[in-house]
Structure 1
Amino acid sequence: MSGQTMVGQKQAPKRPIWFNGGLSGAIAALIIIMLLPTPEGLPVAGQRMLAIFVFAVIIWISEALDYAISAIVIGALIAVTLGLSPDVANPDAMLGTRKGLSATMAGFSSSGLALVAAALLLSAAMRITGLDRRIAIFVLSKVGTKTSHVVIGSIVVATLLAFLVPSATARAAAVIPIMVGIISTFGAGKESRFSGLLILTTVQAVSIWNVGIKTAAAQNMVAVGFLQRAFGLDITWLEWFVAAAPFSILMSVGLYFIMMYMMPPEYETIPGGKESIEKALKEIGPMSGREKRLLCVSLLLVFCWATEGVLHAFDSPTLTVIAVALLFLPGIGVMKWKEANASYPWGTIVLFGVGISLGTALLSTGAAQWLAEFVVVQFGLGGLGPFVIFAILGLFLIIVHLGFASATALASAMIPIVIAVLGQVETAGMNVFGMTILLQFVVSFGFILPVNSPQGMVAHGTGTFEVRDFVRTGIALTVMAYLLSLLFAATYWDWIGMI
């Protein structure tokens, strides 16, 4: 996602030099795949969509282009190549560029896009009013001055904000500067183990709750958008929470013990900690009217999300759009358009829309199904049980994530393929819809490298830890997340019918 705020002076880790040829490699792959003989059973349009898919994956992994720019380029390629391809339903006629452009814009009609767009405006309101900062400081004022308690407080803050701030980047940008301020006022020093412990715990807690809450991250909406188009089904906020929150809760507990064991702080109690927090509370002042109104709207929105399909028939995107509309109304509202627009991550919206369009075109042209058949044969997935299939595909997604700097891009590239693969596997009784959601949980396992997520890059900018600290603790978290997901797949998720 774009628009993240970097804290401190330390530069982000650079990509290896071989990534510099990403654009040339992507163009070469695009041309080669298009010129290859069309395989049996694959429409010409499908072959060309596979070429664009490979182009997109190389661009996204290499970061040869900004994500927003890459989305525009991919959209143009879809419009032109599909427009000049035979119609899948009527191979004797060309599809036409008008329909090709319609395919490019298909993702922008997704209700998931409306949810992401509105949620980012809600995040902007939190930042503009300072409510997110107030919540963080308030929680930290209640946990005491023991270093272990401050670490627990950072996890609690990340958890609470996941309900109210529907953007991992925005949550990290809100919380991490507060943690840096705490480190400074405590006099711990950026080089101390406590500093690295606090920042790493905070950013990993942010990532963990991307799994637990449907509205916490854009990549979840990508998956939901594909599921709506593929199956005509949706998953409510509460259904997602019931399935995923227990996992995130256990991960949060495991995060605390892993971080305290691998990066033990130098001291048990922080000298002057209570005084510094009290000073921060005084500096932030009493709650403003704008903050009170925003808090009321946010809590009401969370309540409506949680009761979707139970107390009312409004879906999550519609509820979020209504809430954001209230935030702009005179008298009730908390911000003006110029304030929100100043730092609104429009690139995320473009990437989201084109990503949905790319996946939809892969499915509609038969490209995803053809590739799925190939994957099923090569991996020997045919006839395997749902648990084994989940284990294999989950591990595959974890490995692939190492090359992506955005879980939104990863979901855009992989979830359509996952849907097609699961549809090809001949396993009686498997819930393809539920299994796709579980594999979307795994898409959020970006714990190993700072460059695997925008929030990781925000944390790295503080200069409080070395990349090797992120990697070694991230590997431990990833192993725990994978094993815990297997345990859940064999028990809880199977019991609630997700497998």
Structure 2
Amino acid sequence: MSATVLEPMTRGKFLGLSAAVMAMAAVMFMPQPAGLPVAGQRMLAILAFAVIVWMSEAVNYSISSALIMVLVAIGLGFAPDLANPKILMGTNKALGMALSGFSNTAFALVGGAMFISAAMMLTGLDKRLALLILSKVGAKTNRILAGVILVGFILSFFVPSTTARVSCMVPIVMGIIVAFGVSVKSRFAAVLMIATAQADSIWNVGIKTAAAQNMIAVNFIEKQLGHSITWLEWFLAAAPFALVMSVVLYFILLKMLPPEVKEIPGGHEAIERELNKLGPMSASEKKLMLISMGLLFFWSTEKVLHDLDTSTTTLAAIALMLMPGVGVMCWKQAQAKVAWGTIVLFGVGISLGQVLLTTKAADWLAQYIVSAFGLQAMSSLGIIAVLAAFLIVIHLGFASATGLSAAMIPIVISVFQALKAPGLNIVGMTMIIQYVICFGFILPVNAPQNMVAYSTETFEAKDFIRTGIPITLAAYAGIILMSMTYWNWIGLVR
């Protein structure tokens, strides 16, 4: 019988968990603020706990999800009922609120996205696409860098998981580095691996289905504001920003980490050899490509040629992928490749945001933020500038944009609603703020995809930070500039 392996409680994790518990207790037992129900105060306490646990990584995200569900069930269960304060809410009703995110269409979409990513990995289609693109760019180091960024862009359409895309690219890039006979400690290796992570983060902004955190934002926009954002609407708004940032990324990396040589002898042949090793395209790859192209067509033509929403078309595609004879994988194969912890975190994140709204905690906190930052007196551009800067700083402590989005987007929407500024496009402004939540460019720990790239030991943390700071500054400037021009012209701001 094998011994049970438990995750060790390090000093850092102990301090993080202790800080989270103390913060929760401090908020829960402070004098009740005017206009905030007891249930709302307890939800703010649970939010403080969640944010500190997520920032400190005191426990992994799956375990934190279970803790948050229990805290909501017990904390609200013994709070006065919102409709009838003379009685307690009860743990049964409170647990139902804690689980509400799991019955959400956005939750179904993220779950479906995980299965698409699993199908790509199982068939090897993602690897074939990546190598095919790289085989066309040549052997000059700057063109290989451009090819890696281009691959990140293309895969963002077909693999709706940033971690999965980077996990696909890392062994390919490592194979290219080895095949070229270049040291894994070279600047060339570092620049390719950093580009792999950063390009995928950039295209999380540009494509609605590229990242789970976008689904959280879209869900809260739909629930709080009653507005559905189609795949094409998101793409037309955000893709120009991501395209410009991809070019900026290329030049920043070449400037900050210039490769030792301008061309790799035999580089093109090395990529061709890797591609030839895959052999001819298998029947499963062809079927998956056909299903993926069909799915991309339905995503991009939602509300234009049909009324099928993104979640429904995604689930239909998953059903085809799993269907015997027609599909490309079986359930047993798929479940081993699905990041179930991420799915649970996503469901709990939606629940957390919804309960913050239901208990009026988000509204109360929004009023406080408006007053503390003086947002009421600011222009729409000033509001975007302040909130974007605030979220960039906050993201330094987060290892998950999904968690950050779950915690902040309901509050951001409530902030915009509290402003009551005439002509303010709350939907568009929330989209812009969500773009900022996708950043995570500075620290390796700011996103799972960064850590996947960092684990290759091709670059040091200081290299990522040194390139990540100018990328972040450029992205922040891009947010301001786009808000003044393109996004303002298409009505996203006003």
- The reply to whether TM is greater than 0.5 is yes
Amino acid at match of 2:64: S
Instruction: Indicate the residue corresponding to 1:446 in structure 2.
Output: 440
Of the three residues 273, 276, 288, the one matched with 2:267 is 273
Q: How many residues align?
A: 485
Of the three residues 382, 390, 394, the one matched with 1:396 is 390
Instruction: Tell me, in whole angstroms, the C-alpha distance in 2 between the residues paired with 1:416 and 1:275.
Output: 51
Instruction: Indicate the residue corresponding to 2:250 in structure 1.
Output: 256
Following superposition, the deviation at residue 405 of structure 1 comes to 0.3
Instruction: Tell me, in whole angstroms, the C-alpha distance in 2 between the residues paired with 1:350 and 1:314.
Output: 26
**1:412 aligned to 2:406?**
yes
Spell out the pairing of 1:61-100 with structure 2 (5 A cutoff).
61-100=55-94
Q: Give structure 1 stretches of 5+ with no counterpart.
A: 1-14
Following superposition, the deviation at residue 469 of structure 1 comes to 0.7
Spell out the pairing of 1:103-182 with structure 2 (5 A cutoff).
103-182=97-176
**1:477 aligned to 2:475?**
no
Instruction: Indicate the residue corresponding to 1:233 in structure 2.
Output: 227
Following superposition, the deviation at residue 467 of structure 1 comes to 0.8
**1:196 aligned to 2:190?**
yes
Amino acid at match of 1:410: L
Instruction: Indicate the residue corresponding to 1:331 in structure 2.
Output: 325
Amino acid at match of 1:419: I
Q: Give structure 2 stretches of 5+ with no counterpart.
A: 1-8
Instruction: Tell me, in whole angstroms, the C-alpha distance in 2 between the residues paired with 1:99 and 1:225.
Output: 22
Instruction: Tell me, in whole angstroms, the C-alpha distance in 2 between the residues paired with 1:345 and 1:16.
Output: 25
Following superposition, the deviation at residue 498 of structure 1 comes to 1.0
Instruction: Indicate the residue corresponding to 1:313 in structure 2.
Output: 307
Following superposition, the deviation at residue 181 of structure 1 comes to 0.5
Partner SS, residue 68 of structure 1: helix
Of the three residues 424, 432, 457, the one matched with 2:426 is 432
**1:496 aligned to 2:493?**
no
Instruction: Indicate the residue corresponding to 2:380 in structure 1.
Output: 386
Amino acid at match of 2:257: M
Higher mean alpha-carbon deviation, 209-218 vs 339-348, is at 339-348
| 1:162–1:206 contact (8 Å) kept in structure 2 | yes
Following superposition, the deviation at residue 93 of structure 1 comes to 2.1
> Larger RCO: Structure 1 or Structure 2 (Cα < 8 Å, ≥ 6 residues apart)?
1
Following superposition, the deviation at residue 17 of structure 1 comes to 6.2
Instruction: Indicate the residue corresponding to 1:301 in structure 2.
Output: 295
| 1:214–1:220 contact (8 Å) kept in structure 2 | yes
Deviation track 1:130-164 (CA, whole Å, cap 9, x = no partner) reads 00000011111111111111011001100000000
Partner SS, residue 274 of structure 1: helix
| 1:449–1:467 contact (8 Å) kept in structure 2 | yes
The TM-score with structure 1 as length reference comes to 0.96
Instruction: Tell me, in whole angstroms, the C-alpha distance in 2 between the residues paired with 1:361 and 1:274.
Output: 54
Following superposition, the deviation at residue 274 of structure 1 comes to 1.8
Deviation track 1:167-195 (CA, whole Å, cap 9, x = no partner) reads 00000000111001000000111111111
**1:36 aligned to 2:30?**
yes
Following superposition, the deviation at residue 412 of structure 1 comes to 0.8
| 2:208–2:234 contact (8 Å) kept in structure 1 | yes
Partner SS, residue 99 of structure 2: helix
| 2:126–2:168 contact (8 Å) kept in structure 1 | yes
Following superposition, the deviation at residue 402 of structure 1 comes to 0.2
Query: Which 4+ stretches in 1 moved above 3 angstroms?
Result: 15-20
Instruction: Indicate the residue corresponding to 2:368 in structure 1.
Output: 374
Higher mean alpha-carbon deviation, 182-191 vs 418-427, is at 418-427
Following superposition, the deviation at residue 16 of structure 1 comes to 11
Following superposition, the deviation at residue 20 of structure 1 comes to 4.0
Amino acid at match of 1:255: L
Following superposition, the deviation at residue 88 of structure 1 comes to 1.9
| 1:143–1:153 contact (8 Å) kept in structure 2 | yes
Of the three residues 351, 355, 374, the one matched with 1:361 is 355
Partner SS, residue 330 of structure 1: coil
Instruction: Tell me, in whole angstroms, the C-alpha distance in 2 between the residues paired with 1:384 and 1:278.
Output: 56
Percentage of pairs with the same residue: 54
The TM-score with structure 2 as length reference comes to 0.97
| 2:13–2:59 contact (8 Å) kept in structure 1 | no
Instruction: Indicate the residue corresponding to 2:177 in structure 1.
Output: 183
| 2:324–2:330 contact (8 Å) kept in structure 1 | no
Amino acid at match of 1:225: N
| 1:194–1:266 contact (8 Å) kept in structure 2 | yes
Amino acid at match of 2:186: S
Higher mean alpha-carbon deviation, 367-376 vs 291-300, is at 367-376
| 1:383–1:426 contact (8 Å) kept in structure 2 | no
| 1:82–1:97 contact (8 Å) kept in structure 2 | yes
| 1:215–1:221 contact (8 Å) kept in structure 2 | yes
